[in-house]
Amino acid sequence: MTSIIAFFILAGAFLAAVSAIGVIRLPDVYSRLHASSKSSTLGVMMMMLGTFLYFWYIDGYVDSKLFLAILFIFITAPVSAHMISRSAIHSNVNPYKMTIMNELARDEEGATDLPNELETHEHD
């Protein structure tokens, strides 16, 4: 059981470190948000689960606050990253210069040009 606890805590710490590196190294706000919301959410949840298992296995203490914290982070982190990215789009923050397509900006401009593949399947 201690190896499972160690796995959760170490994997969570690794994912949190990868997230921090991604926030520092990635080029624009959208990819930084992706790094901070995906891997840090999973990393923090894994560390909290490892902590819960530690207290349950070693001390025999069940802490429901840890479950509530896991649930709170699981719900709020992706939603907040989504809202920050939407506000960045509406504030005209440009994506990285090598970004191929910005579909949200294209949809909000009302573009009607569809790729040839979509036009052929649309009439079927």
DSSP string, 26-48: SSSHHHHHHHHHHHHHHHHHHHH
- Residues found in the chain: 124
Amino acid at 100: I
pLDDT grade, residue 77 (50/70/90)? Answer: confident
Query: What is the pLDDT averaged over residues 9-25?
Result: 92
Cβ burial 33-66 (10 Å sphere, 16+ → b, else e) = bbbbbbbbbbbbbbbbbbbbbbeeeeeeeeeeeb
Q: Which residue has the tokens 């919301």?
A: 37
DSSP 27: S
Which sequence spans correspond to the domains of the chain?
2-95
pLDDT grade, residue 101 (50/70/90)? Answer: low
Q: Which residue has the tokens 């939407």?
A: 86
Q: Is the pLDDT of residue 9 over 60?
A: yes
> Which range is least confidently modeled, 28-32, 47-51, 61-65, 103-107?
103-107
Amino acid at 29: V
- 110: tokens are 């009302």
pLDDT grade, residue 34 (50/70/90)? Answer: confident
pLDDT grade, residue 12 (50/70/90)? Answer: very high
Cβ burial of 1 (10 Å; 0-12, 13-18, 19+) is exposed
pLDDT grade, residue 66 (50/70/90)? Answer: confident
Nearest 5 degrees, angle CA 70-CA 73-CA 75? 110
Query: What is the pLDDT averaged over residues 8-23?
Result: 92
